[in-house]
Amino acid sequence: MSALDVLGTVVMAAGGALSLLAAIGIVVFPTTLARMHAATKSASLGLALLAIGIGIVAEGWGLFAVGLLLAAFLFGTAPISGHMLGRAAYFAGQTEGLVHDDLAGVDLRPLHVVERAERGFSVPRWFLLLVVWVVFWRDPTVAVLAGGAIVAAIVEMLLTTTPGVTRVRPAAVIVFLVRYFGMVVVSNLRVAREVLNPGHDGIREAIVAAPLSTDSIFVATLVANAITFTPGTLTVELTDDPRVVYVHVLQFSSVEEIHEQVADLERLVSAAFAA
Amino acid sequence: MIETVILVVQVALGIGGLVALVRVIRGPSLADRIIGLDLLLLLLAGGVATTGHPEEDLLVPVLIVVTLIAFAGTIIVARFIEWRDTE
C-alpha cells in the first residue's frame, strides 16, 4: 500500500464514520433545530470526505477534482438549506428547549425579498465557471472548451452581480480558507462528541442575535453561510436593516462568546473580500 | 485492504440510511422528516461515490443529480412549511 492509498483510506473511513454519526445524530438529538446541526455539518463533510477519499485511492485526478468541487458545492448549499429549514421550523413553532431566544417577538417578514442588483459580466467568474465545466467533462477537448465558454458566458450574463465586492485579496482568502477548514473540523468534532455522549446533556440550545458591522451584502452573506460550519452554531436568519445574523447555538454558554465568534469570522471575511 | 475499508464504509452508510429512516417515520414534524430524507439522499450519494472509478462515466452525473435534488427538495419543502404556516 502506498502512502496515497493510506491517506485515501483514512479520509474515506472518516467520511463513512461522519455520515453514520450524522444519521445517529438526527435520531438521538432532542429538537428539530439540534438535529439540523448533525444533518448539515456532519453529513456534508462526510460526503465530501468520501468523494475526495475515493479520488485519492483511485488515483484518478479527475475524480479527485470532482470530489473537491462536490465539497465546494456542499459547503455552499448546506448552509442555505439549513438556514431555510431552520427558519421554517422556528416559525412553525418548534422552539422548545431554548434557554435563550433573541428571535422571540422579532417581527420578520416571511420570505423577505432583497432588492435586485444590476447585471454585469465578470471575466474571473466566467473563467471559474469554465473550469468547473471542464472538470465535470474531465476531458478538455476543443469542443468541450468552446461549449463551456459559451455556456459560462450565458450563465454569467444571466447572473446578477453581487454588490459590495470590490477587491479580492488572495493571501487573506487563503488565511480565511485555512481558518475556515479548522473551524469545520472542530465543529464536526463537537457534534460527534455530543452524538456519542449518552445523555446528550451538553446540549443547551439558544438563539443569539449577533450584530454585523459590514455594509456589504456579499460579506454578510458569506459570514452567514460560514457560521453554519463554525463550531456549535447554525444560521437561522439574517436581517438586512439592522444587519443582524440570528444564530442557533447547540452548546450555549454565553452570548458574548457567540458575538466574539461571529465578529472573528467577519474580520476574516472582510479582510479577504471587503473594499 | 482498501476493498475491505470500502466495504465497511458501505455497510456503515447502509446502517446510517436505516437509522435516518427512523427519523423520517417518527417525525414528528414535516421539517424532521425532510431532515431525514435529505440525509438519506446524501448517504445515497456517499454510497455511489464509494463505487467510484475514474473510467465510470455515470458517477459524476449521478452525484450531481442526487445532491442537487437533496438541496432543491429541502428548500422547496422549507418554503412550503412557511407558506402553509403563514396562510
CB of A41 closer than 8 Å to CB of A226: no
pLDDT at residue A208 greater than cutoff 70 = yes
Using a CB-CB cut-off of 8 Å, the residues of chain A touching B38 are: 39, 43, 81
Q: Cα distance from A134 to chain B (closest Cα, Å)?
A: 13
Sheet holding A205-211, edge to edge: A98-101, A205-211, A244-249, A233-239
Q: Cα distance from A171 to chain B (closest Cα, Å)?
A: 31
The set of long-range contacts for A132-139, using a CB threshold of 8 Å and a minimum separation of 24, is A132/A69, A135/A62, A135/A65, A135/A66, A135/A69, A136/A66, A136/A69, A136/B60, A136/B64, A138/A62, A138/A65, A138/A66, A138/B60
- ipTM for the whole complex: 0.89
Is B66 touching A (CB cutoff 8 A)?
no
Is B32 touching A (CB cutoff 8 A)?
yes
Q: Cα distance from A63 to chain B (closest Cα, Å)?
A: 6
pLDDT at residue B53 greater than cutoff 70 = no
pLDDT at A109: 61
Which residue in A16, A54, A84 is closest to B75 by CB distance? A84
A44 with B1: Cβ contact below 8 A: no
Domain region containing B21: 2-86
Between A20-34, A159-173, A233-247, B10-24, the lowest mean confidence (pLDDT) is in A159-173
Name the residue among B65, B39, B63, B15 with its Cα closest to residue A55: B63
Q: Show Cβ contacts of residue A109 under 8 Å, excluding neighbours closer than 6 positions.
A: none
Across the range A22-49, mean pLDDT stands at 88
Q: What is the DSSP letter of A94?
A: -
pLDDT at residue A259 greater than cutoff 80 = yes
Between A61-70, A184-193, B30-39, the lowest mean confidence (pLDDT) is in A61-70
User: What does the alpha-carbon distance between residue A56 and residue A51 come to, in Å, rounded to a whole number?
Assistant: 9
Using a CB-CB cut-off of 8 Å, the residues of chain A touching B5 are: 9, 12-13
Q: What is the pLDDT of residues A41-81, one digit of tens each?
A: 888 899 888 888 888 887 767 777 778 888 888 888 888 88
B39 with A13: Cβ contact below 8 A: no
Cell numbers for A92: 412553525
Across the range A142-160, mean pLDDT stands at 85
CB of A57 closer than 8 Å to CB of A13: no
Q: Quick one: pLDDT band at residue A39, thresholds 50, 70, 90?
A: confident
B49 with A51: Cβ contact below 8 A: yes
pLDDT at A120: 67
A67 with B49: Cβ contact below 8 A: yes
Q: What is the pLDDT of residues A95-136, one digit of tens each?
A: 777 777 777 777 666 544 555 555 667 788 888 889 888 887
A85 with B78: Cβ contact below 8 A: yes
Domain count, chain B: 1
Q: What is the mean pLDDT of chain A?
A: 82
Between A140-154, A205-219, B18-32, the lowest mean confidence (pLDDT) is in A205-219
Q: Which three-class secondary structure state does DSSP give residue A37?
A: helix
User: What does the alpha-carbon distance between residue A212 and residue A245 come to, in Å, rounded to a whole number?
Assistant: 7
Question: What does the domain layout of chain A look like in residue ranges?
Answer: 3-111+166-273, 123-158
CB of A224 closer than 8 Å to CB of A218: no
**A82-93 burial: b if 16+ Cβ within 10 Å, else e:** bbbbbbbbbbbe
Is B25 touching A (CB cutoff 8 A)?
no
Is B49 touching A (CB cutoff 8 A)?
yes
User: What does the alpha-carbon distance between residue A104 and residue A90 come to, in Å, rounded to a whole number?
Assistant: 10
